Amino acid sequence: MSTTRLAPSVNHSGRTGSRVSVDKTSIPVNGHTTSKSPALALTGQSRWAGWSYPQPPNVGGATEVIHGVEIKDPWRELEDPEKDETKRFVREQNELSIPLLRSHPHRQLLEDAVRQVCTYERTSVPSLMGDGYYYWTYNQGSWSRDIVVRSKDLQQDFGRLPEGIQSPDPVETTDVATKEHRPGPEVVFNPNQEDMISIYAESWSPCGRFYCVILQEAGSDWQKIRTLDTTTRQPIEDDLIESKFTFGTSWIGSNGFIYKKPIRALDINGNASASSAALAEADGQYAMFYHHLKTPQCEDVMVWYGTGPNARNLITGRPIDCSWDLRGDQKGRRWVFWDIHRSASAETESFIFELPLNLDGMSGRETGMQLKRLIGQGKWLSRGFTGSLHYIGTLSNDTHLFEGTANGYTLGRIVAITAADIDQTVPGGDVPFTQLIPSHPSGFNLLSANLVKDSVLVLVYLRDACAAVVFADARTGDIIGASDQHGTLGHAMTTPSLEIPVPAEELDRRLDAKHAVAIPAHATISSVSSRSDSADFYFSVDTFVAPPYVLSGVILPGVGEPDIKLSRIDHAPAPEEDLVCTQTFYESFDGVKIPLFISHARDLDLTRPQPTLVHAYGGFGVCSTPQYNHQFTTFMRHVRGIVAVACIRGGGEYGADWHECARQINRFICYEDFSHAAKYLHAVGLTTPALTASYGVSNGGTLVAASMNRDPHLWRAVCPDVGVFDSTRFHLFTIGRLWKAEAGDPEDPMQLQYIHAMSPLHSVKADDDIVYPAVFLTTADHDVRVIPGHTLKMLAELQAKRKNNPNIFLGRIYENAGHEVTSKSTEQKVEEAVDRLVFIISAIGL
């Protein structure tokens, strides 16, 4: 389970890919492009002048004294999207911002540039399923959303235009193959054929016969679950409704699955209120339901819900079927791994139970009741929320492998649990386990582990927020190979023809062709796909400077240790290398060194200050690692600026301890870390406050707003997107109560005074002598995770309290969009990126 899916979201670029064209046209200054000259002629003045702000609501405000703390909330009316005052305020904010953003003389140039950066063939990592097909997502480059395709021949079909799709329109299909005059991969599911539908998660039955896709409408966290027969690629029943945060259904055999749904008075019988105000209320308790295929949803059995004083905060991730018999056709023993969260952070409790062999012969109700009984007899793997455990796979001798940080191993390790260990543990008891691979001796952070061919573990580590892959024997734990910025070593090797799209200076030319660099110095391994019954595996490599690419690996039988061979599965040529990335470290307020990625055009003049966009996340243990991002790339190529990404505390770059540093009342640490990134960039002369913008999404939106209040003089433009700004009331809406472990508990008398003091909404400075930067606050009308009320209240506070500020405060409320960037169409992503870039260059006076 990715706990960040319960948290405010992370702005990842999404799918992997391989092909991109580069146009070095930059914003013209004084009639010339800036590809070989200073990027901006700074006027020192915004392009906007003479604006007037919408009138904020004059009703519905409140002042409360809670635990001795006076909390003023004059804009509470804006929390309710159904109020007339809220609708008026939203309409007038857009009426102010849209004309200003669309009238900029460079808008069309920027829009063309963003589209060009987005237009490359994108593929996800292929995954082999029980029906013998490889499944992946594909986008020709300009399609609104990625489509799901499959093939049994990766060598021929991976990265090719799907059969029956006519580029560039993926909505219309044809029986005529359109690429290379031969059929490509088959289309399994095409979300472009439905309005405002996006794919949230997917899963397949063990035999591969059924494909279950979790769908979002207009980006809302409320989900529909659709099951297709993969032989016909048609739905087999009506969609299930009112699911939320189901991270892929959990198949129990091939006849049914477990999914998540909140239990509320309004929808306990499946009848939910359609009111957006109701959807902004606090979610009810989450429960897990078993659904038997081709039966009505009203017959689904609730198999688990939290109990005890903290029951309302308990939520299950994604139960996992554990067996070496992945297809379920060899009658191997099967267990279910079950984890429980008490917040949106990573810490879990987990248990395991065995499934009976005759489960497939039971009715839906019988299966559901049996699961409910078995869950109650689970055997504990970890208790006390001391860390997390993640299932890796099961060896053919029924040994289960797990990766995690439970019991204080904050950098992660690999442990093994045998069937005998489970059998000898009484229900409700603690299963013993054996350490297979200890925490990394050099302090690298273990991010993930995958099992390949019942023999090899693929381990992904972070070293100063940069990825490295280690290969280990799955039975002994011995290290047998590695691949990182220094080459591909040990029993791992590369194909002689391997080409990767990274700057030449990152490649070690001393290496021979069999030991070449496959993973550059500043990279992320964003996805790994493997099976314990297959010798091949796949992973994607992401950087700041080029689109992601997919590598394939294969386990080759060898004398003694097996050999691992890496090659590139896509065949597109590497793009022109016009961008570079370096990493440095700066000191924060307490002397702790923080990693900082600095990316820019290769020919940018760094001897003089340049426009700089500073970005970070700093929460929920999320790692700020390299990613190809259309907004960043356009800023570097066409605005001719620097993108600086800081790996501040609160994230997970150095494991659980790095995260723990900036939780709850210590949140000020991540704010200080972020401000010190700007101070460092100013001190070394890369930029100046007049050329510095900040940008953050969700938790990162909170970060940039809070840092602005603390140090407004450091920034010329601040762009918080879908942030949490009222830190005293976030827990009252939708899933917000699960963020208390991260953002602090406003109901705790000891914490509230600190939370109130750091709350972005309540710490806006009123002194007109203090100049605030220009601020561009953005949200979406279907965001039911961080409700739009946070952004609307922050807008009202800035515009009312700072109405004489010389720099503008703009708000943009997007329609038919939600919280996560992955739920947005290509058009929506382009529009938002262009709006933000227009705002930044306007604020700095271009």
Residue 394 burial (C-beta neighbours within 10 Å; 0-12, 13-18, 19+): buried
Query: Do residues 231 and 276 make contact, with C-beta atoms less than 8 angstroms apart?
Result: no
Name the phi and psi angles at 798, rounded to 5. -65, -45
Active site residue 698: yes
Are the C-beta atoms of 653 and 465 separated by less than 8 Å?
A: yes
> Is beta strand 147-151 parallel, antiparallel or unpaired with respect to 186-189?
antiparallel
Q: Give the alpha-carbon dihedral of 372, 375, 377, 381, to 10 degrees.
A: 180
CA distance 74 to 560: 72
Give the list of residues 6+ apart from residue 622 with CB closer than 8 angstroms, or none: 4, 7, 10, 651, 652, 699
CA separation, residue 28 to residues 106, 126, 339, 833 (Å): 8, 42, 55, 19
Q: What's the CA gap between 22 and 576, in Å, rounded?
A: 7
CB 353 within 8 A of CB 379: yes
Centre a 10 Å sphere on the Cβ of residue 298 and count the other Cβ atoms it contains.
7
One of 552, 698, 707, 825 is an active-site residue; which one?
Answer: 698
Place of tokens 């405002």: 196
Ramachandran bin of 454, using left for φ above 0, alpha for ψ from -120 to 50, beta for the remaining angles: left
- Cα–Cα dist 587/275, whole Å: 49
Please pick, among 615, 819, 825, 842, the residue that the annotation labels catalytic.
819
Side-chain half-sphere CA neighbours of 59 within 13 A: 6
β-pair type (774-780, 809-814)? parallel
Q: Which residues pair with 353 in a beta bridge?
A: 336
Q: Determine the Cα angle at 462 with ends 489 and 606, to 5°.
A: 100
* Residues belonging to the active site: 698, 819
